[in-house]
């Protein structure tokens, strides 16, 4: 059974979604992210992917108060990402209630620091973020595309202990046009022991089934929930079946 992880993306304290990571495409779905998180919890969901989009743009943690609010008022296990660039950012995230953090840009721009986090906190708490465009790693809130190839990137970090990766195909993100199954097959073929968390493009339940059929262990679902294409009741039935 594939693990379904709903996402909450935060801008100015509000729950939003972007299209292909474009901040000009921001659509606000709820003024109160805690309300959304409580709805997830009420339907049997255990995990939450929380992204600080203000932090991603500012290059430091911004919306930690939202993280703290959700962590203290729900029992959701939260992985938190967006703008985590320093040891201080990391300490703020964990002290605000994150059980795991996701690092993407930092893994490209300051690999030694990111590797030290893996050593210090362990691979259960540090998730590698691999956001890709044409199989090249994108950084800084997807404003920049690096020259680093996805497979090379994953190989480097699996060798130093990374066991979980969130991989987002930017071209799919927020488009509601299906997921990058071919890309995920390639990752799983190269790294069969990696816990792959697919992200981007889920539009309907068939997309989740397609990922489950290729043995992707977890999937992040965002816009499909907010647009009503996949309901929380459907997720609840799937969880308890």
11 close to 39: Cβ distance less than 8 angstroms: no
What is the pLDDT at residue 18?
84
Q: Phi, psi (5° rounding) for residue 6?
A: -70, 155
103 close to 84: Cβ distance less than 8 angstroms: yes
Report the interhelical angle of 150-158 vs 111-121 (nearest 10°): 40
Report the interhelical angle of 64-73 vs 87-95 (nearest 10°): 30
Q: Which range of residues forms the domain containing residue 29?
A: 3-240
DSSP-derived letter for residue 146 is: E
Cβ neighbour number for residue 147 with a 10 Å cutoff: 8
pTM across the whole model: 0.93
What is the pLDDT at residue 188?
98
What is the pLDDT at residue 176?
64
CA distance 20 to 170: 5
User: What are the Cα distances from residue 86, in Å, to 31, 89, 117, 232?
Assistant: 29, 5, 10, 36
Secondary structure of residue 209 in the 3-state scheme: helix
| Residue of 52, 79, 131, 169 marked catalytic | 131
What is the pLDDT at residue 174?
56
Which residue in this structure is represented by tokens 């709903």?
Answer: 6
Structural domains of the chain, count: 1
* CATH code: domain of residue 42: 3.20.20.70
Cβ neighbour number for residue 222 with a 10 Å cutoff: 26
Which residues is 102 bridged to in the sheet?
81, 127
Residue ranges in the chain whose pLDDT is less than 70:
140-146, 172-176
Q: For this structure, is 169 an active site residue?
A: no
**H or E segment and range at residue 113:** helix 111-121
What is the pLDDT at residue 17?
86
What is the pLDDT at residue 23?
83
């Amino acid at each position: 059974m594939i693990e379904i992880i709903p996402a909450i993306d935060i801008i100015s304290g509000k729950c939003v979604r972007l299209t292909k990571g474009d901040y000009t495409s921001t659509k606000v779905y709820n003024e109160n992210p805690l309300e959304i998180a409580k709805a997830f919890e009420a339907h049997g969901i255990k995990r939450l992917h929380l992204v600080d989009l203000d932090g991603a743009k500012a290059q430091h943690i911004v919306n930690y108060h939202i993280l703290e609010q959700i962590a203290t008022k729900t029992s959701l296990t939260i992985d938190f990402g967006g703008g985590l660039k320093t040891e201080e950012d990391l300490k703020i995230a964990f002290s605000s209630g994150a059980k795991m953090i996701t690092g993407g840009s930092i893994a490209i721009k300051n690999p030694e620091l990111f590797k030290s986090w893996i050593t210090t906190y362990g691979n259960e708490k540090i998730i590698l973020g691999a956001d890709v465009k044409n199989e090249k790693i994108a950084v800084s809130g997807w404003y920049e595309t690096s020259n680093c190839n996805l497979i090379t990137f994953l190989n480097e970090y699996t060798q130093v202990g990374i066991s979980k990766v969130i991989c987002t195909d930017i071209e799919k993100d927020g488009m509601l046009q299906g997921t990058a199954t071919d890309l995920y097959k390639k990752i799983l073929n190269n790294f069969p022991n990696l816990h792959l968390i697919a992200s981007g493009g889920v539009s309907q339940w068939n997309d989740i089934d397609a990922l489950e059929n290729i043995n992707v262990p977890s999937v992040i679902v965002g816009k499909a929930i907010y647009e009503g294409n996949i309901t929380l009741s459907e997720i609840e039935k799937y969880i308890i079946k």
